Amino acid sequence: MGQSTSAGLAIAVLAFITIGFGVGAAGTSLLALVAARAEEDKRAGAATVVWLMMIAGIAITAITVGKVLDPYSPLRLIEVTAVVGVLATLVTFMALWNLEGKTTSVRTERDAAASNFSGFRDAVVEVWADQQARRFTIFVFVSMLAYSAQDLILEPFAGLIFGLTPGQTTELSGIQHSGVFAGMLLVGVLGSSSMRRGSLATWSVFGCLASGVALTGLSISSMFGTSWPLSANVFALGFSNGAFAVAAIGSMMALAKNGRAKSEGIRMGVWGAAQGIAFGLGGFMGTVAVDVARGLSGSAVTAYSVAFFLEALLFVASALLARGLMKKEMPSSDHWSAMGTIVGAQVNKG
């Protein structure tokens, strides 16, 4: 059978663009649906549970696929990818089945209010006119830019610098998302009414700074070679990411209700768009940073070190933005309590 590298690359690019489009559209719509459907004092907790399930799915899939990939061969990669693709499609259909149910009449008044907006542009203008919402939009964009910048370079880094196999690097991604899950779960539980510790903005600052420290560790890890605790470093990065993410979600759901005419869905759409654009741009910028640094230095070690350090600086900038939000009327107690209560209830059920 004939082979064509250019055709394969073209199909791969189209596939990745389609995946990104679908993830962005579905994720934003789901958060908007949660904001519109959940009771006001349960929105943050509901959104957190949604994210926890997503992160758990990513972690389980990555670890499982990583184990199945070894011993690695191109044919084995194709087979595993095909199986994962089919399973993901089937699970997606099951997840979407009757998702909205027959409750559209319950939200008739809210839908009518939202329809008064002439479009997404007006929603952006409204959010941008609100100083607190504007600051939060910038925070979401910068923090998600930092969050996603390592997404496409971590596995190649582990393979090239530490000599890990494709299966092992995939498992490493699973370890990272296990850390994200643990961070979100712990911070969510600490937000329960009986264990409340710190505000949403405080945890955002902590998570961003800790993420910066973890990325700095990755930037210097190549100096120590295989003696560096790479898995622990990656888990710490994931844990820190989870801590800031769950606090940001709580803040987002709390701020969503502050708009005109109960426009939770529209506000969530704006913030979801900021998150989606930053996520896609971050992954692209991470790879560009590595390529540019490698072209200038001629060293893969230097290239990855520079890229991870720049990402750490982005997290420091995110922490400063979150610190600025702390000086404003950042919602915390009610949504913090609800978030922890719902997450705690899910843990008890498990």
Residue with tokens 């922490």: 319
pLDDT computed for residue 196 by the predictor: 52
**Structure-block tokens of residue 220:** 């210097």
Spans of all domains in the chain: 5-96+111-349
- Cα–Cα distance for residue pair 192/17, rounded to 1 Å: 39
d(CA 122, CA 147): 28
Contacts of 169 (CB under 8 A, 6+ apart): 66, 154, 155, 156, 158, 159
Alpha-helix runs per DSSP H in 149-228: 154-162, 166-190, 200-221
Tokens of residue 9, six digits: 């690359």
Q: Which pLDDT score, from 0 to 100, does residue 29 have?
A: 80
Residue-level pLDDT at 63: 94
200 near 332, Cβ under 8 Å?
A: yes
pLDDT score at 287: 95
Q: Which residues of the chain have pLDDT under 70?
A: 1-2, 44, 102-120, 123, 191-198, 257-265, 327-350
**Model pTM greater than 0.85?**
no
What's the pLDDT at 283?
Answer: 92
What integer pLDDT is reported at residue 130 of this predicted model? 79
pLDDT the model gives residue 306: 97
- Sequence-distant (≥ 6) Cβ neighbours of residue 294 within 8 angstroms: 300, 302, 303
Pick among 3.40.50.1970, 3.20.20.105, 2.30.30.90, 1.20.1250.20: CATH of 5-96+111-349 = 1.20.1250.20
Q: What pLDDT does residue 31 have? A: 74
